Structures are given as structure tokens and as C-alpha cells.
Amino acid sequence: MKLLRGRQTLMVLSVLAACALTACSSRPRGPIPVEDKVAGQSPARAPQKPQVQSSPVAVSSPVSMGASLPSADNAGRPGYYSVRPGDTLTKISLDHGQAWRDIARWNGLDNPNLIEVDQVLRVTPPVQEASAVRPMPPARPPVGAAGQQAGSPAANQPVASPGSTPPNNVASTPNASADENLVFAWPHPGQVLANFDEAKNKGLDFGGKAGDPVLAAADGKVVYAGSGLRGYGNLVILKHNNTYLTAYAHNQTLLVKEDQAVQKGQRIAEMGSSDADRVKLHFEIRKQGKPIDPAKLLPARP
């Protein structure tokens, strides 16, 4: 009986030893992975490389070419303007011969409707931006009187390099003469109801019928089309170059949109009586923002 129990004990020990050997042989070689088991959480995984997501990219800064935003220290300096009660960005841009979008960009204005009294605004382009604009040479130079092309070295005028003194026969501002020589056309054939008066009437008033065509006085770009300027009703403002703007007020319907290029004689609006006591067209020509008498620049009527 004792012998039987001894054999059974040996058999059990043999089986246990065999199981232990099997377990040892099935265990993988090398370090055993450590699992950090926390109640309610899954085992921690090896850290993964974070995915890089595309973020919004700033295409351009609010002020061109790194120019700094204006501060109160610029008050009273040329090229800057301190906001007064009742001002709007449209009025400021018209008074300074600029597009309101440009003024908003130069001053980093996210909301152009939010300007404050005594806020200092830049109303002329930053120096870097102004100097970057250069006239493009003609694709096919015209033939000169001597039979040479205007683009040839013999026919070209000397060009002043940056920092040098321009020759006597070269203007320091190449676009100035072209701006001054702009030829305007009449915006409406109707009778002139009121002439220019620097104190009372900043342009010419034309009579006509509701729906009469209002024509662009020169080639240009629409820098404003709306009714946000008190006293002008439905208004279109065209920018023709760095010197001249024209304004067309009291329209019934606007036929153009901002940033649209227009040609001289193009129909840009229909005459109306918006914000006026009668049907009429109020027409202004502004030279660097200052109203001037349009009659002095318009051709003689036949």
C-alpha cells in the first residue's frame, strides 16, 4: 500500500516537472514586455509619431512687405490720418484718394466697420509697396522717327538706378505725367443743374430721368459700390490711377461690383434719386483725394 502511494507520488511529480519544462520552452526569448495595467484603461502602447496636420497659412501680412502698423505716435505725420467723429472708412478713402480695401489692409483692419475716434490710420501706401509698382514695358515697342525701335538701346532714355540721381530729362516719378494726362469723358449728357463749389458742391449735378445710363468717365477699377456714405445714396467710386478718383452718386441701380475693371463710356449705373431730393447724378473728380472742378478736365461739349 505504501509502495503504491509512493509510485503515485512519483508519477505526479513527473507530470509536474514535464509541465514546467513545457512552459519554459514556450516562453519567448528576450525581455518580457511590461504591461502597465491600470483599472479601467487598456494596456499602454508604444508612443507613436504624432501626425502633422495642415494649419492655416498666412498668405500675406495685413500690411504689405513687413511695414509696421501705425501707432498714436504717427498722429499728424504725412500719410497718416486721425479718425474724427462721424468718419467711415469709405469717407476716409474717398478723401485721400485710396481704395477702402487698401486702407484696411495697410492698417490690419479685420472689420472695416470698426474704427474709433482718434485712431491713427495709414492713408498712403507703405514705402515698400509704393516702390514695388513699376510700369510694364510695351510688348512690341513702337518704331521711332529714326527707324529704330523704341526698345533698342539707342532709342531708350536712360533709366535711373535705385539711389542715383535721375537725369534732367527723366522724371523721378514715371507715372506722374501719365496720371496728369488722363482724358475724361462726360458721365451723362444731361443738363448741368449745379456747378462745382468747393464749399457747397464738390462736383457737378446732372439732371435726367430715372434709369438714364451713368457712364464711366475714364478707364479704371471699381473701388466702391454701395450705399454706406451718407448723402451720396447708391454710390460708385472708380480709381483711375494713383492720382484720380471719380464718384457717381444718387443712383437708382448699380451695375458694377467692387474690384471690377471698367472702360471709358461703360454703363456703370442707372440714374436715380437715392438720398437726394430729385433724380440727378452727382459727379466728382478727386485729385489725390481733393475735390476739383470737373468742368476744367472734361472736354468741351459740341
Taking only the tens place, the pLDDT of each residue in 122-165 is 999 987 555 444 443 333 433 333 333 344 333 334 434 444 43
Is the pLDDT at 267 greater than 60? The verdict is yes
The CATH code of the domain that includes 224 is 2.70.70.10
**Residue 87 lies in domain:** 64-127
Tell me the pLDDT tens digit for each residue of 156-180: 344 344 444 333 333 333 445 567 7
Indicate if 118 and 208 belong to the same structural domain. no
Residues 32-59 have pLDDT tens digits of 333 333 344 444 444 443 333 333 322 3
pLDDT of 69 reads 75
Residues 215-233: tens digit of each pLDDT: 999 999 999 999 999 999 9
Residue 141 inside a domain? The answer is: no
- Residue 243: partners with Cβ closer than 8 Å, 6 or more residues away: 97, 176, 179, 180, 182, 287, 288
Number of folded domains in the chain?
A: 2
> Strand, coil or helix: what is 175?
helix
| CATH code where residue 102 lies | 3.10.350.10
Domain shared by 210 and 288, yes or no: yes
Cα–Cα distance between 68 and 39 in angstroms, integer?
Answer: 56
Are 110 and 197 part of one and the same domain?
no
Query: Model confidence at 112, in pLDDT bands (50, 70, 90)?
Result: confident
Distance of alpha carbon 146 from alpha carbon 284, whole angstroms: 43
Q: Contact, 247 vs 286, CB < 8 A? A: yes
Instruction: Report whether pLDDT(105) > 60.
Output: yes
Q: Is the pLDDT of residue 242 over 80?
A: yes
Does this model's pTM top 0.85?
Answer: no
In a domain, 92, yes or no: yes
Does residue 277 lie within any of the structural domains?
Answer: yes
Quick check: is 270 in a domain?
A: yes
Domain boundary among 127, 146, 179: 127
Q: How far apart are the first and last CA of the chain?
A: 145
Identify whether residues 196 and 287 lie together within a single domain.
Answer: yes
Q: Per-residue pLDDT for 297 more than 80? A: yes
Residue where a domain terminates, one of 92, 127, 162:
127
| Residue 198 and residue 291 share a domain | yes
Tell me the CA distances in angstroms from 154 to 39, 144, 157, one per residue in order. 89, 10, 8
202 and 114 within one domain: no
Is 28 contained in some domain?
no
Residue 240 included in any domain:
yes
Taking residues 240-255, report their average pLDDT. Answer: 97
Residue 25 lies in a domain: no
Which of 101, 127, 153 is the last residue before a domain boundary?
Answer: 127
pLDDT band at 68 (very low <50, low <70, confident <90, very high): low
Q: Is residue 301 part of a domain?
A: no
